[in-house]
Amino acid sequence: MGTSDDQQYVIITIDAFTKYVLFYYANKKNPPSTLAALKRTIHLFGTPVQIIADGGREFLGEFKTYCDRIGIDIHAIALGVSRANGQVERVVATLKNTLTMIKNYETEEWHTTIEELQLAINCTPHRMTGVAPLTLLTQRKHYVPPELLSLVNIDEQTIDIEALTNHVQHKMSQNAEQDRQRFNSKKAKIRHFQRGDYVLIKNNPCNQTSLDLKFSEPYEITRILDNDRYLVKKVVGSGRSRKVAHHQLRQAPQPGDQITVSAEEDDPPA
């Protein structure tokens, strides 16, 4: 995925027996990226006896050195001949079709989609084994989100993109709501202004000197907007109305308010 200036890759590892799939995101196609993916797989499941990979340069250099050091046999297949590695052919085709469709959606959260796709594939019974890779790997039954059970069709190399998108959007909405609640729980409660109130607007300190006034001339609240914003207009003079956030406003003296000003006298009255 990505443009020619911003390439992004997915490194795929599949266990030959259970058909369990792991997707790893990488922004470079080189030995360090493939080695990082291999190490993460080894940290989860242990060292494999053999790796079947294409003959790309990303599987040479430090990747091959590491495999030789810990006793992993690398069986290289010809570049561009995916049929030579039948274990991954259907998964690669499914992933390519999915990423092509995801690329046209207006979302930057495709990493989350990749994780959902990985779970969906691992929860789908495999044609060769008759059971889901996750079940075969762990020997346990797992609770799987119902919307993921019928998401992937490996044999047809397709995925229900609408179901996947709905699932991801629902998950993102849940996370956004949790973030909103957490933010609101820590936010200080504010006293909202009412229509007709007089307020002062805090001046931008970037456009001021230390001797300039910190607040503007009085404005009047003419409309209450959403998200703690207000429409205000000048009390004296003309000018366009302005939209201002609550945190930029301060209460101004209202008509009829009595203001007492006191000062100490240097000399007492005679």
Q: Name every residue whose Cβ is closer than 8 Å to that of residue 27 and which is 6 or more positions away in sequence.
A: 6, 7, 8, 9, 33
What does the pLDDT read at residue 232? 92
Helix and strand element counts for the chain (H, E):
7, 11
Q: Give the helix/strand (H/E) hosting 171.
A: helix 161-186
DSSP-assigned letter for residue 202: B
Residue 224 C-alpha from the chain's centroid: 32
Q: Kindly tell me the burial class for residue 101, based on how many C-beta atoms sit within 10 Å of its own C-beta (0-12, 13-18, 19 or more).
A: middle
71 vs 4: CA distance, rounded Å: 37
Nearest to 125 by CA among 95, 150, 146, 147: 150
Pick the CATH number of 9-182 from 3.30.70.580, 3.30.420.10, 3.40.50.720, 1.25.60.10: 3.30.420.10
Q: Name every residue whose Cβ is closer than 8 Å to that of residue 64 and which is 6 or more positions away in sequence.
A: 31, 74
What does the pLDDT read at residue 36? 94
Q: Kindly tell me the burial class for residue 230, based on how many C-beta atoms sit within 10 Å of its own C-beta (0-12, 13-18, 19 or more).
A: buried
Q: Where in the chain is the domain with CATH 3.30.420.10?
A: 9-182
Q: Name every residue whose Cβ is closer than 8 Å to that of residue 125 and which is 6 or more positions away in sequence.
A: 131, 132
Q: 198-251 has which fold?
A: SH3 type barrels. (2.30.30)
202 vs 213: CA distance, rounded Å: 9
Contact of 159 with 118, CB cutoff 8 Å? no
Helix (H/G/I), strand (E/B), else coil: 172? helix
pLDDT tens, the chain, 270 aa long: 555 556 788 898 998 888 899 999 888 889 999 999 999 999 988 999 999 888 788 999 999 999 999 999 998 876 555 555 666 667 777 777 766 665 655 454 566 678 878 888 888 887 777 778 888 888 776 666 665 555 555 555 455 556 655 665 666 577 678 877 777 776 666 778 888 889 988 887 666 666 667 778 889 999 998 878 899 998 888 888 888 888 888 888 766 665 544 444 444 444
Q: Where in the chain is the domain with CATH 2.30.30?
A: 198-251
Q: Rounded to two decimals, what is the model's pTM?
A: 0.52
Query: Could you tell me where the beta strands, DSSP code E, fall in the chain?
Result: 9-14, 21-26, 50-54, 73-77, 152-153, 158-159, 198-201, 219-225, 229-234, 242-245, 249-251
165 vs 60: CA distance, rounded Å: 37
